[in-house]
Amino acid sequence: MEEKENCYAFVWKIDCFNELVVRHPNGSFFYSDRFWSPRGQGGKSININVVNEQNGSHNNNTGYLWRLKMFPNGVDKKSNDYISLYLEAIQTRYEKQNNITGRQKKFRLKLFRVDSNLQTPKQKPSLVIDRHTLETKFEFNGVNADYGFARIIALKELFPSDNTPEIDLLVQTQIFEDVITSGEGPSSMDIVNNITLMPFERYFGEERFCDVEFVFDCGSSMKAHRVILAARSTYFENMLGGEWLEGHMKTIAIKDMPFDAFRCIVHHLYTGKLEEGLTFELLRDIYSKADMLRLEQLGQMSAERMVNLMNYENWDQVLMLGWKYYDKRLKDAGQQFAVEHWVDIKDTDNMKQLNTFANTSISRLVSQSHSPRQRRELLAINDIGTTYRNPPQKLSDWSFSNLTAFTGSNSGGVPNFNVR
């Protein structure tokens, strides 16, 4: 029976959920921290998050990497006034190196609430909703990377009136153990479609077999191969496979995307690489479009390049991108730059604009940052909620005194499409 299956539980605590509902309109989402679940431990208990973080290497086959995605006001118009909640699979280094492009998993999602104004060390969360177990094949490169509920619960069930007190929301996901728990060799989840791994690099810019052309407002154009784009990106598979109007067109006009950024994205799909010598401005465009196209690896590459190019002229842009897309890497890098170069930047126009954008005073925090505690204060501003890792398996065993807190969220944004 399902209740007897071994599973790993992860709990995400979201403080002051009422405020996030107001701040995030329909279609807007944010992420939890990333977390690991054990891979076939045969019922053994293992703190895999600590193991992976301490080793600093994800080059082993001990676990799966995940994060949760929440739309406080629904993923689309049909789910407006509902909470949409999804579990997203993230490809590990081991999976990349072993050409594993997906994983089959069973999981279950639950929501609990805690009244913020009644917190005591012994207070117990109360169950709000416990949905049925889901099973799907997660795919790392495209819209099938996440799976869940477009309408897990109506907001009116959490907030029946305008006088509803502030609440903290706890999201619990249970990820069930693999069918194969011992022995060597790949499990059934490791069987992948090898077409996504073929050496396409030599065909980039080769027009002999091209069957689609993209044109831009600037007058530039480029040709490509439908099968390669579709094999490497679910977005292009949907566009070129007949589901969209563009699927029947030999020439497709690209709007609202610079030619250079589009070319770099297509180059990445052919090669798995990010071209060298790109400007900060171009990397910024690539980063935002990679988020829209759900090309996570490309987004991470461009984010790392932007951090390496960060200077007095653009550090604030790095920080604002981190806030906008809930990207912890960019946010932390931008904030650390502010701390280390405070004397040089405190009176600049960048800082004034940033304080207005952030709706908080970075100046006040940084100017007092003479101690480690105060620096930690700076690095904590504008985080969305608090994430709790490695909880007891049963929330009935919880109290606020036995939780370990991690602040921050990972990359997110408002996607232009949702396929469910």
- At residue 53, the pLDDT reads 41
CA separation, residue 66 to residues 1, 21, 135, 341, 350 (Å): 25, 23, 15, 35, 35
Q: Does 69 map to a domain?
A: yes
Q: Is the pTM of this model over 0.85?
A: no
Residues 135, 163 within the same domain: yes
Q: Does 297 map to a domain?
A: no
Q: Does 358 map to a domain?
A: yes
Residues 210, 179 within the same domain: no
**How many folded domains does the chain comprise?**
3
Residues 249, 133 within the same domain: no
pLDDT band at residue 363 under the 50/70/90 scheme: low
CB 290 within 8 A of CB 321: no
Residues 101, 241 within the same domain: no
Q: Does 161 map to a domain?
A: yes
pLDDT in tens, 50-73: 334 434 444 556 689 999 999 999
Q: Does 419 map to a domain?
A: no
Partners of residue 70 on adjacent β-strands: 30, 85
Residue type, 113: R
Residues sharing a CB contact under 8 Å with residue 324, sequence separation 6 or more, in sequence order = 413
Q: Does 310 map to a domain?
A: no
Residues 230, 357 within the same domain: no
Mean pLDDT of the chain: 74
The full DSSP string for 125-172 is -EEEEEPPPEEEEEESSSGGGEEEEEEEEEHHHH-SSTTPPPEEEEEE
Q: What range does the domain containing 260 cover?
A: 198-273
Count how many residues are written for the chain: 420
Residues 216, 137 within the same domain: no
Residues 132, 150 within the same domain: yes
The CATH number for 52's domain is 2.60.210.10
**Interaxial angle between packed helices 280-293 and 315-324, expressed in degrees from 0 to 180 and rounded to the nearest 10:** 10
The CATH number for 243's domain is 3.30.710.10
Nearest to 267 by CA among 285, 286, 248: 286
pLDDT in tens, 225-284: 988 898 888 888 888 876 677 777 889 999 889 999 999 999 999 888 888 899 999 999
Residues 24, 113 within the same domain: yes
pLDDT band at residue 195 under the 50/70/90 scheme: very low
Residues 96, 224 within the same domain: no
Residues 363, 261 within the same domain: no
Q: Does 300 map to a domain?
A: no
- At residue 158, the pLDDT reads 87
How would you classify residue 92: left for phi > 0, otherwise alpha for psi between -120 and 50, otherwise beta?
A: beta
- Helical ranges in 73-141 per DSSP H: 93-97
Nearest to 259 by CA among 319, 208, 318, 217: 217
Residues 367, 396 within the same domain: no
Return the structure tokens found at 92.
Answer: 């590990």
Partners of residue 149 on adjacent β-strands: 85
How far apart CA 214 and CA 222 sit, in angstroms, is 5
Q: Does 309 map to a domain?
A: no
How far apart CA 260 and CA 165 sit, in angstroms, is 50
Residues 66, 27 within the same domain: yes
